[in-house]
Structure 1
């Protein structure tokens, strides 16, 4: 299922946070949102999973305006892993993951064999099957993150919306999660702070700055030294990763971009 965001404006706490954003997340691809803190990434994602209403513009799922769908209909298409993590569930891990089956159940209906199989598969996918009987509140931050991702998988959505999904995860589980997203080949809209992770996992990137999309395209075309300086305020070189061949961004941690000229002429960033 394809996502199209057209001229999106979103206000939050009395301030316009997203202003005229246009972007596309193609079916079956991983589309990344990157940008500095406060650039509007989380706000934009919240409109896709209906936590916020846009003040103008629209979000289309396979050509249908999200506002024309009921919450139940959209929940069968879109599953979210927001930054706001639930931490007060007095439920077991398995019970939390089973909540992902709610959009498919009638009121007071119990689980069937298909639900149990889907929940078990989701727990296995994130490496939490052995902790299925533990209390959610007893888990570490990284374990809770994986459980909430399993809940999203159990929802069996066409679209995954993930806001900083690698937060709280150690490096091994970050690698596992990104590999899992690639293997899913499900339409995925994800925000990431780690630009090297974004370059590795995403098919296409949209760069947000001050609430607007300022560059769009494949990671190698978007993540240029010029864009690093203009949007993130850092000096960087972009080279090939020695193991994967993906773009690898090497940052100058000693000199801010505005304090020293680059050693070579910068390219003009791709605009979208």
Structure 2
């Protein structure tokens, strides 16, 4: 299923936060949104999973306006992992993941064998199969993140919308999650702060800056030093990752792009990251 965002305008209290955005998430690809804080990434994603109504433009799923779908129809097509996740579920891990089956159930309908299989697989996929009986409120931030991702998987939608899915995850679970997203091959629209992760996992990137899409294309074409300086305000070199061949961004942590270079003090080591 393909996502088309057409001339999207989003405003809060009369203040425009996204201005005329156009972007595409192709079927079966991972499409990333990157940009500084406040650039409009989360607001744009909220319109795709219908948490927010735009003041102009539209979101199309395979040519159908998202707003023409009923809530149930939309929930069978789009699963979301938002940033505002709500951490007060007085439910077990398994019960939280089973909530993903709601769009397929009639009111008060009992869980069937298909539901049980789907939920079990989703928990196994995120490495939480051994924690089904734990209370959600007892989990660490990273564990909660994985459980909520399993809930999204249990929805069995064609589209995943993920807002900073690697938040709270340690390095190993970040790598596992990103590998899992690639293995899913669902149409995925994801915002990421980590530009190196975005370069590794995304087929296409859209760069947002002050509410506008200022660049779109494959990571290798988009993540260039001039754009990183203009949009993110950093000095950076882009090299080839020695293990994967993906673009690897090495930042100069001594100074922003528009500031003076600060003197080093004491021994130094190479600093590469985001």
Normalised-by-shorter TM-score class? over 0.9
How does the TM-score come out when normalised to structure 1? 0.95
Corresponding position of 2:265: none
2:94 is equivalent to residue 101 of structure 1: no
- Report how far residue 16 of structure 1 moved: 1.1
Corresponding position of 1:247: 247
**Partner SS, residue 76 of structure 2:** helix
- Report how far residue 193 of structure 1 moved: 0.1
- Report how far residue 149 of structure 1 moved: 0.1
Corresponding position of 2:156: 156
Corresponding position of 2:79: 79
Report the Cα distance in structure 2 between the residues aligned to 1:153 and 1:13, rounded to whole angstroms. Answer: 34
- Report how far residue 260 of structure 1 moved: 6.0
**Partner SS, residue 258 of structure 1:** coil
Report the Cα distance in structure 2 between the residues aligned to 1:14 and 1:167, rounded to whole angstroms. Answer: 30
Give every structure 1 segment of 4 or more consecutive aligned residues whose post-TM-superposition deviation is greater than 4 Å: none
Report the Cα distance in structure 2 between the residues aligned to 1:260 and 1:244, rounded to whole angstroms. Answer: 34
Corresponding position of 2:199: 199
Report the Cα distance in structure 2 between the residues aligned to 1:35 and 1:226, rounded to whole angstroms. Answer: 14
Corresponding position of 2:38: 38
2:144 is equivalent to residue 138 of structure 1: no
1:57-92: per-residue Cα shift (whole Å, max 9, x none)? 000001000111011100000000000122110000
Corresponding position of 1:111: 111
Corresponding position of 1:265: none
How does the TM-score come out when normalised to structure 2? 0.94
Structure 2: 5+ residue stretches without partners: 262-274
Alignment coverage as a number of residue pairs? 261
Corresponding position of 1:184: 184
**Partner SS, residue 206 of structure 1:** strand
1:84-136: per-residue Cα shift (whole Å, max 9, x none)? 12211000000000000000001111110000000000000000000001000
Report the Cα distance in structure 2 between the residues aligned to 1:175 and 1:226, rounded to whole angstroms. Answer: 28
Corresponding position of 1:237: 237
Report the Cα distance in structure 2 between the residues aligned to 1:137 and 1:14, rounded to whole angstroms. Answer: 37
Report the Cα distance in structure 2 between the residues aligned to 1:244 and 1:84, rounded to whole angstroms. Answer: 33
Corresponding position of 2:49: 49
Structure 1: 5+ residue stretches without partners: 262-272
**Partner SS, residue 60 of structure 1:** strand
RMSD: 0.9
Report the Cα distance in structure 2 between the residues aligned to 1:87 and 1:13, rounded to whole angstroms. Answer: 27
- Report how far residue 258 of structure 1 moved: 1.5
Report the Cα distance in structure 1 between the residues aligned to 2:108 and 2:28, rounded to whole angstroms. Answer: 34
**Partner SS, residue 173 of structure 1:** helix
Corresponding position of 1:269: none
Report the Cα distance in structure 2 between the residues aligned to 1:42 and 1:165, rounded to whole angstroms. Answer: 12
